[in-house]
Chains A and B, each alone.
Chain A
Amino acid sequence: MLTAEYFDGQSTRVRVVNLEADGQFLSIAGEDIERRIPFGEVKVDERLGRAQRRLHFSDGAFCAVRDLDALDVLLASVAHRDGWVDRAQRRARSVLIALLAVAVLAFAGYVWVLPWAAGKAAAKLPAVVGRQLSVQTLRVLDGNILLPSRIPQDRQRTLSAEIHALRLPGGGVPESELLFRRSPQLGANAFTLPDGTIVILDDLITVIDDDPQILATIAHELGHAHGHHGLQILLQGSVVGTFLAFYVGDISSLLAVAPATLVNASYSRELEEQADEYGAAVLRLNGMSPALLAEALKKLADSHRGGGEMGYLSTHPATEERVRHLREMSR
């Protein structure tokens, strides 16, 4: 005997009834109600936490039961079996397995699947996508943190000619457009836009002050362009951002804003290594030593150390490791 509340689906009237299993029938008896329903026609809700569990009948009426354990006994007596997801949700062992599986899948997805898929997709995207993104980026940066270059025109032309004369591992010469800019905020730096355009900052030229070494840093940037790293990072950021927004967005939209930018930091290291490898290959092909890139990196790191607030870069082990790796390659 089990107490339940009966609702007819037509009004909010509550009727207190008793439920009993009667062979393959469910018998309902209480305040002006008397029904016998074959169990085959009863739809049993999942047992979700401590919520009242409902037994739905085909005419829209239902019973709500509070004593969940007693209901389980009654359901067992008619050989009712809960769905496997329903059971998995409340069994400690399956919940623990799910937790471990989610952790493993999330890690594998983040570390291997996402970069791989984003890299593939970046290489397949039409060139116009990278072009548009680059134009937009430059529009935001120019006049904001990027100022016109003070490097003399003929010096710019000489450097461009040297860079465009480099032979590339896949055959051919660099097609990247070169832009000269000055930026007090970014200091000695060069970066590659999604369409492969390379922006060279004045301080990089003055700090390195040695054409072969400048060529070496640009060879590294050509590696970013060759690998479509700009688009890849953009795609990765969008995917992680969307994913986190979906799951964390319920609690706070704040957290959802952060990941797209934060995620890039952890990816960049591997991409830097790829670009170093490519740069070293370009240098060797043109009869130059990969050690040139190592020297240039050291000079850049030193220049940032001098700035005081740039301490993060110089204390970061990545540069030292890259320098060591490049020197090994040059032997």
Chain B
Amino acid sequence: MTQASTGASQGGTPAVSAPQAVIFTGSGAEYFGIWIVNLLLTIVTVGIYSSWAKVRRLQYFYRHTEVAGSSFDFHGNPIKILIGRVIALAMLIAYNFSVRLHSPLTLVVVVGIAIVMPWLLRNSFRFRLYNTSWRGVRFHFRGSVAGSYRVFLLNGFLAVITLYVMAPFMHQRLKAYQHNNSWFGRTQCSFHAAAGQFYPIYLVLLAGLVIFGIVLGFSGIGSAFIAVSNAQKHAAHPNPFAFLRLLGVLYGALLVVGLLVGPIFHALITNLIWRNTRIGEHRIECNMSPWGLVWIGVSNLALTVVTLGLFIPWAMVRLAKFQLEAVRLVPAGDLQEFVAAEPDKISAVGEETATAFDFDISL
């Protein structure tokens, strides 16, 4: 439909340079049915069905995301995702036990995970992109294994030994690795933001966290909280009132960080990253309003709590719509001329492991 109308407005010639807004057409009410049925099947199958549920969730969101009149699609195989999840769960259990029980094995497990993680993350990018298509042409990720070790292990190490002064630099290198190695069919993507552009946004984050720290320090509550919550966690029963008061203050502070500082940082950094990403010669605009994202987060959280979680499908749809519709594609030429590449098969192990360990693998 959009295709037809833009074509007509240019008097017959294809409208190659008109910016194409990303449109998200999903609805919370529709998604609720999918969400609850798949949730029930997941519970009844003690979690096994969750891989199928995940594929359906991604398909719902991808297929309702349209650019230039055509939607995306997700092609992931649920069985592969299930295998990935089993491996991820095994790693998670090994990690949790080894961290809690100090033994010589701890070091072996942690080092082992650190060594396979970059490889798994690279696989996760490959899996996610390979299974994403637009108009039948698939995306690809062609980053090298060596590159992933450089980006995750070497740069991660540098960030830590420089007390995170190099964290923005590491973030820039990571995004460059991801985006420069992403392809749409035979068209390569490229990343143009310099590390210097990441630093001002990280300063905003730092300022927010410093204010959070000062408030927490002034209330003298940090150390007391850690002590009391540990007692609580290990089944002791200290004075419940004092505990609730501490909990209230700490969650208040956490809410400020999670609902204010976090989203503002996320919006600013997302705008920077996508404005500096190109698909071939086609540019991308991204204008996500930081305060708009704060509002989505606050209202989603409030409504999710009030409805005991039933609002979750609406919350997911609202967030997706807000984030996706901030993006526009500015074509430099005909969007009909992308050509598919030779397909390569990809394993799902990486993606599941990465999500279980809570790494940001969003692209």
Contact = CB atoms under 8 A, between A and B. Distances in A.
Nearest to A249: B358
B37 to A, nearest CB: 5
Given A8-B136, A192-B235, A313-B240, A48 B336 contact: no
Contacts of B26: 49, 51
Interface stretch (B194-202, B208-216, B301-309): B301-309
A247 B312 contact: yes
B241 A230 contact: no
B239 interface: yes
A88 B60 CA distance: 15
Given A9-B340, A312-B240, A95 B37 contact: yes
Nearest to B223: A144
Contacts of B33: 89-91, 95
Given A11-B336, A251-B319, A48 B34 contact: yes
A62 interface: yes
Contact of B234 (A51, A137, A254): A137
B240 A251 contact: no
A142 to B, nearest CB: 10
Interface in B185-237: 185, 223-224, 226-237
Contacts of B142: none
Contacts of A95: 32-33, 36-37
A62 B71 CA distance: 13
Given A61-B136, A95-B36, A193-B236, A185 B230 contact: no
B233 A186 contact: no
Nearest to A188: B239
Given A248-B309, A251-B319, A309-B241, A260 B134 contact: no
B8 to A, nearest CB: 13
Interface residues of B, number: 80
A132 B39 CA distance: 36
A199 B230 contact: no
Interface string B236-253: 111111101101000100
A199 B231 CA distance: 11
B101 A132 contact: yes
Contacts of B150: none
A311 B73 contact: no
Contact of B136 (A9, A88, A187, A249): A9
Interface in A168-210: 185-187, 189, 191-194, 199
Nearest to A142: B227
Interface stretch (A18-26, A149-157, A261-269, A321-329): A261-269
A46 B56 contact: yes
Interface string B56-81: 10011001100001110100000000
Nearest to B236: A191
B71 A85 contact: no
Contacts of A51: 25-26, 60, 63-64, 71
B153 interface: no
Nearest to B33: A95
Contacts of A224: 235
Interface stretch (B123-131, B170-178, B254-262): B254-262
Contact of A137 (B30, B101, B231, B251): B231
B43 interface: yes
A78 interface: no
B228 A145 contact: yes
Given A52-B63, A185-B228, A251-B312, A7 B136 contact: yes
A11 B134 CA distance: 10
B300 A252 contact: yes
B335 interface: yes
A50 B36 contact: no
A56 B233 CA distance: 53
B324 interface: no
Contact of A194 (B56, B234, B241): B234
B312 A258 contact: no
A12 B236 contact: no
Interface string A90-113: 110011001101100110010000
A233 interface: yes
A12 B100 contact: no
Contact of B238 (A185, A192, A251, A261): A185
B137 interface: yes
Contacts of B34: 48-49, 89
B10 interface: no
B228 A12 contact: no
25 contacts: A12-B70, A12-B134, A13-B337, A14-B69, A14-B336, A48-B59, A48-B63, A52-B71, A60-B136, A90-B33, A98-B39, A105-B44, A132-B100, A145-B231, A186-B238, A187-B239, A191-B237, A251-B312, A251-B315, A255-B304, A261-B229, A261-B247, A310-B242, A312-B244, A313-B239
Interface of B: 1, 3, 25-27, 30-34, 36-41, 43-44, 56, 59-60, 63-64, 69-71, 73, 100-102, 134-137, 185, 223-224, 226-242, 244-245, 247, 251, 254-255, 258-259, 297, 300-301, 304-305, 309-310, 312, 315-316, 319, 335-340, 358
Given A95-B37, A187-B239, A252-B301, 5 more contacts: A49-B26, A89-B33, A137-B230, A252-B258, A253-B258
